[in-house]
């Protein structure tokens, strides 16, 4: 038993009591270390100063052969994962083994899971965990359990050779990973491993640790005899800080610790410690250096993916694009696109996935990074299978490139290689048949299984066998399937009731196929009870479906109906469209057939109609239609229609439907065990009524021969009896409703449904958070804003194509369209006219009664391709904007289990209205910016000539010339001579014409080398950086050359008549020139003064000439 000492703080007893307890504790610790007769000493106190490291050093006996290590947790620290257990492992290896045992050999000797050896090795060597082959999200729980086992194995091995005393002080401050690993270590009772555990019982643990902390304390109290020092307890309860504040002064160390948590799967600790800094980066990325902010965003994305929080992963991933290093660093751009692919595993948006994949390849190839090319190829391959998270969603027809297999070998990605071998090959029907019949060996599957066994990955083995169960069951090779079930059972001998129930379901289904109906019912009911006790509502529905299917096969239709009725009520409570293993269409088909045999034709037609609505996309003949996964439903649909036509004596229509049912019958061999029998009896009855007895006999003989050959002897026996006009004996499976726990199942579904509704609301909130973050980024480009917003909407709600339209008066335009639909002006006009009647918008699912009401819009996207249609108008009096989107009627019925609802419509309408407001705000901002630019331009430019004015010159000096430090400036100060005569003689219009004429002349001569300013009236200034006075004189001569006639020709052309101008009144100009060193405001003012002095001299001595200020200085006064 464990020995626990209680230390209490009683201030009323003062120092005498403190000394007494110190002596007592000292004796107790000394005795524990000296004798090591108990595995653990637990010291509990209430807000007193606990023994320190130096206290323990004094207590260690000199003659002990134990190795003692001490660790004290400090408050408000960012602890390492499993602190201090990993650090102690490193310490023990260095001190005990490094000199004579390689690290690799040490880890193998400790039986460390092969995929974790790199993590332990890198940590022991550097303190930083690294992992080259990434974790598979399907294996998170398995790997975490293995990591616990690894730590325990290491301490077991070390303790087998060395006596260890591990002292954990202030353990109430420990992180969850440390608390979680201590409990299994204590339960293991490892010989030679001893603990002294000290904690403050008056300290309330952090909320995320509380459950595990209470489990640890419960175990300690159950296995110890407490010794009370006294009975006083402090009334003061110390509460932990619920929120950790990230310390930016130790960023490198803290980020290292956070990544170590990720690699060692201490995910709850990681979430607790990263939230603060992530929230700060989200609102202010500059709080950290960009490289560190990027590392945090990348890690938060990976964490969110591990926790199956896709919305959070999408948001954090998107935030990477706000960092400038996203543009400047190829590695960051690659990682963003790589993570983007991972965020889409569940959505199946292959266009988004492929674009990100191509970006990854482009970046990697540009820099010759073969490893990154391989990683991109691998993650793209995984994305096509949804990361193999749900085998029922995988399309195993997708080929896996063999070069990817070779790359996995090259880079030693052996766990991924096992997946490629088992999931990507030998999946075609011919190969499946050849393997099941023993004509070929499952070479690749066997390679994958052997590789997984070598790795020690039993979790993968369970997945691999299940993949074969799915494929070979569909192909009708049930004995082979039975062997796969046995291999699963042999792989894991677990007390896990849920896993056991899943195995029961698999074996039970196989028993149904093998005609062991009573045994199947036994397995199904046991599975149902296990799952109900474990509160697994979704799995319970699968179990109940299997029970109803067993009744259906033995044609006990009275038992089928109540089972499916409960299933449909559970689906409604859970807000699901269908089961994981069965479409709603099949359930309706089973009901329709059951009611037909009970001669309730009203309900037969009713449920057949609902079935038809669920699968109408497959009922119109089309050569391109892919019926995969829907063959059984289509068989039942046409089969039931045939029975109804036969009942109505419409034999022609009956034969047509039977022919169609026969077509789908042979598309899915896995259901022939019961469908062939149904078809045979119906077709034989029709032949008999039509007098075709020869065809009837041949039909029976073929079916009986088939069933005998395949070992379905009860089916053969039934068909023989019917052929001979006898009533076949029926298998009786007792229907005991209380034993099926219907009431308990409904209660469980209602409870889970309530939780689901809360989860959906949380999803809406998460979407709005991401949405508003996008809108708050103040995009100045409307197209970018809209594209980002619609993409977020599509990702969050699994929407397919989207179209966004705007109407201004009678003109319509497309603001966004990522579909392959091209809308004409007439179609857009009709869309807006439609939404004038439906201004509130709509959301309709294929199974809704009002689905056909919105067909004018649905038909735009293809009526058979739409399972959910969404239309949202925004009105301001008349309809201004419309958003159209839909959920595609995917071929795999297991996707999109949860339909969009009116609650989602409310959220989406609110979001869309925010987008429109953001668009209008951008337009308003653009308009205001243009007005401000116009006002600013007007304030700095001359309205007549368009040249800069005096204010414009000041702006040039402040914003352009001031940047040219140490350079010279050439200034030409120009005044027009005789301008007043021209203005008075020919009118102000000609005056204005001349001002514009000279402006154009000066501007053309200056070109891009400088600036021309209308300084006032008929005065102009030319400013040319880095030019000399000689250049100014040359420029002046060019001006004089072009105005020799005083602009007579130009004015005559303007007035459309000849004019005469006296010689002494001819228009010319005087120019003062200066070259000045310096470009500040003061320098320019000095230069202008010099140029003005030169101009003044010319104006009063010889108009129509130019002079430099330097020459002016050489003239005598």
Helix axes 350-366, 370-384, angle to 10 degrees: 170
Work out the pLDDT band at 621, boundaries 50, 70, 90: low
CA distances (Å), 13 to each of 9, 19, 21, 369, 374, in order? Answer: 9, 10, 11, 72, 71
Cβ count near 572 (within 10 Å): 12
Nearest to 382 by CA among 412, 408, 409: 408
Rounded to whole angstroms, the Cα distance separating 392 from 394 reads 6
- 919, 876 in Cβ contact below 8 A? no
- Residue 1019, strand partner residues: 975, 1016
- Tell me the two tokens of residue 740: 């099926």
The pLDDT value given to residue 101: 94
Q: Which residues of 219-255 are buried (b: 16+ CB within 10 A; e: fewer)?
A: ebeeebeeeebeebebeeeeebeeebebeeeebeebb
pLDDT digits (tens, 9 = 90+) for 60-79: 666 667 788 899 998 888 89
Which DSSP state fits 824? -
Work out the pLDDT band at 478, boundaries 50, 70, 90: confident
Residue 22, pLDDT > 80, answer no
- Stated as kind and residue range, the H or E segment containing 633 is helix 631-647
Cis amide leading into 84 (omega within 30): yes
- Residue 845 has phi, psi (to 5 degrees) of -105, 155
- Residue 868, strand partner residues: 845, 887
- Residue 167, strand partner residues: 70, 196
Nearest to 1023 by CA among 970, 987, 986: 970
Cβ-in-10-Å burial (0-12, 13-18, 19+) of 1003 comes to: middle
Residue 733 CB partners (closer than 8 Å, separation 6+): 517, 518, 521, 550, 551, 554, 556, 559
- Stated as kind and residue range, the H or E segment containing 305 is helix 290-306
- Residue range 970-983: average pLDDT? 92
Residue 49, pLDDT > 80, answer no
More confident site: 136 or 934: 136
Q: From its phi and psi, is residue 1078 left (phi > 0), alpha (psi between -120 and 50) or beta?
A: left
Residue 1031, pLDDT > 90, answer yes
Which DSSP state fits 93? I
pLDDT digits (tens, 9 = 90+) for 679-716: 999 999 999 999 999 999 999 999 999 999 888 899 99
CA distances (Å), 827 to each of 113, 492, 830, 832, in order? Answer: 62, 60, 5, 9
- Residue 168, strand partner residues: 71, 197
The pLDDT value given to residue 19: 41
The pLDDT value given to residue 404: 95
Cβ count near 593 (within 10 Å): 22
- Residue 142 has phi, psi (to 5 degrees) of -60, -45
- 981, 1065 in Cβ contact below 8 A? yes
The pLDDT value given to residue 787: 84
Rounded to whole angstroms, the Cα distance separating 402 from 204 reads 56
Give me the half-sphere count of Cα atoms (radius 13 Å) on the Cβ side of residue 417.
20
- 566, 745 in Cβ contact below 8 A? yes
Residue 891, pLDDT > 70, answer no
Rounded to whole angstroms, the Cα distance separating 210 from 199 reads 14
Could you tell me the maximum CA-CA distance found in the chain, to the nearest angstrom? Answer: 142
Give the 3-state secondary structure of residue 1012. Answer: strand
What is the pTM (predicted TM-score) of this model? Answer: 0.63
**First-to-final CA distance of the chain:** 117
Rounded to whole angstroms, the Cα distance separating 795 from 774 reads 14
Helix ranges, 425-477 (H):
429-436, 443-455, 458-474
Region of poorest pLDDT, from 357-371, 639-653, 800-814: 800-814
- Tell me the two tokens of residue 738: 């209380």
Helix ranges, 189-236 (H):
210-222
Rounded to whole angstroms, the Cα distance separating 22 from 346 reads 59
Rounded to whole angstroms, the Cα distance separating 678 from 313 reads 49
CA distances (Å), 49 to each of 9, 33, 45, 170, 229, in order? Answer: 9, 21, 9, 10, 16
- Residue range 171-182: average pLDDT? 94
Region of poorest pLDDT, from 205-214, 454-463, 1079-1088: 1079-1088
Rounded to whole angstroms, the Cα distance separating 938 from 370 reads 58
Rounded to whole angstroms, the Cα distance separating 903 from 843 reads 10
The pLDDT value given to residue 152: 96
Cβ count near 1117 (within 10 Å): 2
The DSSP-derived string for 895-926 is S--S---HHHHHHHHHHHHHHHHHHHHHHHHH
Rounded to whole angstroms, the Cα distance separating 368 from 744 reads 61
- 1112, 973 in Cβ contact below 8 A? no
Which DSSP state fits 96? I
Region of poorest pLDDT, from 216-225, 256-265, 1040-1049: 216-225
Residue 220 CB partners (closer than 8 Å, separation 6+): 2, 4, 40, 42, 186, 197
- Residue range 601-615: average pLDDT? 91
The CA-CA-CA angle for residues 36, 42, 48, to 5°, reads 130
Q: Is the dihedral of CA 426, 430, 434, 440 positive or negative?
A: negative
- Residue range 431-438: average pLDDT? 92
The pLDDT value given to residue 264: 96
pLDDT digits (tens, 9 = 90+) for 1047-1075: 998 999 888 888 888 888 899 999 999 99
Work out the pLDDT band at 558, boundaries 50, 70, 90: very high
The DSSP-derived string for 506-523 is HHHHHHHHTT-HHHHHHH
Nearest to 882 by CA among 839, 925, 917: 839
Rounded to whole angstroms, the Cα distance separating 834 from 826 reads 12
Cβ count near 1074 (within 10 Å): 25
- Stated as kind and residue range, the H or E segment containing 227 is strand 224-228
The pLDDT value given to residue 942: 84
- Placement of tokens 């970018």 in the chain: 784
Q: Calculate the average pLDDT of the chain.
A: 86
Percent of the chain with pLDDT over 90: 47
Rounded to whole angstroms, the Cα distance separating 22 from 17 reads 9
- Residue 489 has phi, psi (to 5 degrees) of -65, -40
- Residue 843, strand partner residues: 870
The pLDDT value given to residue 932: 67
Residue 171 CA from chain centroid, whole number: 36
The DSSP-derived string for 965-992 is TT-EEEEEEEEEETHHHHHHHH-HHHHH
The DSSP-derived string for 644-662 is HHHHTT-HHHHHHHHHHHH
Q: Where are the beta strands (DSSP E) in 663-791?
A: none
- Placement of tokens 């000439």 in the chain: 1105
More confident site: 639 or 942: 639
Cβ-in-10-Å burial (0-12, 13-18, 19+) of 324 comes to: exposed
Length of the chain in terms of residues written: 1117
């Amino acid at each position: 038993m464990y020995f626990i000492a209680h230390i209490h703080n009683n201030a009323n007893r003062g120092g005498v009591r403190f000394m007494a307890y110190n002596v007592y504790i000292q004796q107790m610790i000394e005795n524990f270390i000296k004798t090591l007769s108990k595995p653990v000493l637990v010291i509990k106190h209430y807000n007193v100063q606990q023994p320190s490291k130096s206290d323990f050093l004094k207590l260690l006996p000199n003659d002990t052969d134990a190795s003692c290590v001490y660790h004290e947790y400090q408050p408000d620290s960012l602890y390492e994962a499993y602190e201090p257990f990993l650090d102690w492992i490193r310490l023990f290896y260095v001190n005990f083994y490094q000199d004579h045992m390689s690290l690799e050999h040490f880890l193998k000797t400790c039986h460390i899971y092969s995929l974790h050896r790199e993590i332990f090795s890198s940590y022991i060597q550097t303190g930083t965990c690294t992992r080259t082959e990434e974790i598979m999200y399907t294996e998170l729980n398995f790997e975490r359990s293995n990591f616990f086992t690894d730590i325990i194995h290491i301490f077991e091995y070390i303790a087998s050779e060395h006596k260890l005393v591990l002292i954990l002080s202030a353990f109430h401050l420990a992180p969850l990973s440390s608390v979680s690993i201590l409990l299994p270590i204590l339960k293991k009772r490892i010989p030679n491993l001893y603990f002294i555990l000290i904690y403050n019982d008056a300290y309330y643990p952090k909320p995320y640790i509380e459950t595990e902390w209470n489990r640890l304390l419960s175990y300690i109290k159950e296995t110890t005899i407490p010794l009370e020092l006294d009975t006083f307890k402090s009334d003061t309860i110390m509460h932990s800080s619920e929120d950790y504040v990230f310390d930016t002064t130790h960023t490198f160390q803290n980020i290292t610790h956070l990544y170590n948590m990720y690699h060692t799967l201490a995910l709850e600790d990681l979430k607790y410690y990263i939230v603060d800094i992530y929230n700060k980066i989200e609102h202010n990325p500059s709080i950290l250096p960009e490289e560190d902010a990027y590392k945090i965003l990348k890690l938060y994305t990976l964490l969110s993916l591990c926790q199956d929080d896709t919305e959070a992963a999408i948001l954090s991933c998107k935030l990477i694009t706000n960092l400038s290093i996203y543009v400047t660093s190829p590695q960051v751009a690659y990682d963003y696109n790589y993570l983007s692919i991972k965020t889409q595993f569940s959505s199946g948006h292959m266009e988004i996935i492929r674009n990100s994949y191509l970006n990854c390849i482009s970046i990697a190839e540009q820099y010759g990074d073969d490893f990154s090319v391989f990683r991109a190829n691998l993650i793209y391959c995984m994305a096509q299978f949804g990361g193999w998270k749900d085998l029922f969603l995988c399309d195993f027809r997708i080929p896996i490139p063999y070069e990817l297999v070779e790359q996995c070998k090259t880079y030693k990605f052996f766990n991924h290689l096992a997946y490629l071998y088992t999931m990507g090959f030998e999946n075609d029907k011919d190969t499946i048949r050849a393997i099941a019949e023993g004509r070929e060996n499952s070479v690749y599957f066997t390679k994958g299984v052997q590789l997984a066994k070598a790795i020690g990955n039993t979790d993968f083995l369970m997945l691999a066998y299940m993949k074969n169960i799915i494929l070979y069951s569909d192909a009708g090779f049930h004995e082979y399937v039975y062997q796969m079930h046995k291999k699963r059972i042999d792989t894991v001998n677990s007390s896990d009731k849920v896993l056991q129930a899943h195995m029961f379901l698999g074996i039970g289904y196989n028993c149904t196929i093998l005609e062991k109906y009573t045994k199947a019912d036994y397995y199904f009911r046991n599975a149902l009870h296990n799952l109900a006790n474990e509160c697994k509502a979704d799995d319970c529905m699968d179990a109940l479906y299997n029970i109803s299917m067993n009744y259906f096969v033995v044609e006990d239709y009275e038992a089928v109906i109540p089972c499916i009725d409960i299933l449909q009520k559970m689906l409604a409570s859970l807000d699901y469209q269908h089961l994981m293993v069965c479409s709603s269409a099949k359930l309706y088909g089973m009901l329709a057939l059951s009611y037909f045999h009970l001669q309730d034709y009203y309900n037969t037609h009713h449920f057949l109609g609902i079935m038809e609505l669920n699968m109408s996309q497959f009922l119109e003949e089309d050569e391109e239609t892919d019926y995969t996964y829907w063959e059984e439903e289509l068989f039942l649909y046409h089969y039931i229609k045939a029975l109804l036509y036969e009942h109505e004596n419409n034999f022609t229509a009956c034969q047509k439907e039977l022919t169609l049912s026969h077509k789908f019958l042979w598309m899915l061999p896995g259901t022939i065990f019961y469908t062939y029998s149904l078809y045979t009896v119906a077709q034989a009855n029709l032949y008999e009524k039509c007098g075709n007895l020869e065809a009837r006999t041949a039909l029976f003989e073929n079916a009986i021969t088939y069933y005998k050959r395949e070992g379905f002897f009860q089916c053969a026996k039934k068909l023989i009896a019917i052929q001979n006009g006898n009533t076949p004996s029926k298998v009786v499976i007792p229907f005991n409703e209380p034993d099926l726990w219907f009431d308990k199942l409904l209660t469980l579904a209602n409870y889970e449904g309530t939780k689901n509704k809360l989860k959906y609301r949380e999803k809406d909130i998460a979407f709005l958070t991401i949405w508003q973050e996008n809108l708050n980024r103040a995009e100045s480009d409307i197209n970018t804003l809209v594209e980002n917003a619609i993409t977020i909407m599509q990702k969050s709600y699994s929407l397919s194509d989207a179209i966004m339209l705007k109407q201004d008066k009678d003109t319509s335009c497309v603001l966004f369209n990522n579909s392959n639909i091209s809308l004409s002006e007439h179609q857009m006009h009709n869309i807006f006219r439609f939404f004038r009647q439906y201004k509130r918008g709509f959301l309709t699912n294929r199974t809704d009664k009002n689905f056909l009401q919105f067909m004018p819009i649905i038909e735009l996207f293809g009526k058979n391709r739409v399972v959910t249609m969404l239309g949202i108008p925004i009105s301001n009096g008349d309809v201004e904007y419309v958003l159209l989107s839909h959920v595609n009627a995917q071929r795999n019925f297991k996707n999109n289990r949860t339909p969009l609802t009116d609650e989602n419509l409310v959220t989406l309408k609110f979001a869309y209205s925010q987008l429109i407001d953001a668009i209008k705000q951008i337009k308003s901002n653009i308009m205001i910016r243009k007005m401000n630019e116009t006002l600013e331009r007007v304030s700095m430019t001359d309205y007549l000539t368009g040249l800069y004015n005096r204010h414009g010159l000041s702006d040039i000096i402040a914003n352009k010339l001031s940047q040219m430090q140490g350079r010279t400036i050439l200034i030409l100060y120009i005044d027009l001579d005789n301008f007043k005569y021209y203005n008075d003689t020919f009118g102000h219009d000609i005056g204005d014409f001349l001002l514009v004429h000279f402006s154009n002349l000066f501007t053309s001569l200056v070109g891009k080398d400088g600036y021309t300013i209308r300084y006032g009236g008929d005065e102009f200034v030319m400013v040319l950086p880095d030019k000399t006075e000689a250049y100014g004189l040359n420029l002046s001569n060019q001006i004089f050359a072009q105005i020799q006639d005083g602009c007579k020709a130009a004015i005559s052309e303007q007035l459309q008549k000849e004019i005469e101008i006296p010689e002494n009144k001819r228009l010319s100009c005087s120019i003062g020139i200066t070259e000045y060193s310096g470009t500040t405001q003061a320098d320019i003012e000095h230069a202008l003064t010099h140029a003005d002095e030169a101009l003044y001299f010319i104006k009063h001595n010889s108009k129509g000439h130019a002079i430099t200020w330097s020459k002016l200085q050489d003239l005598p006064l």
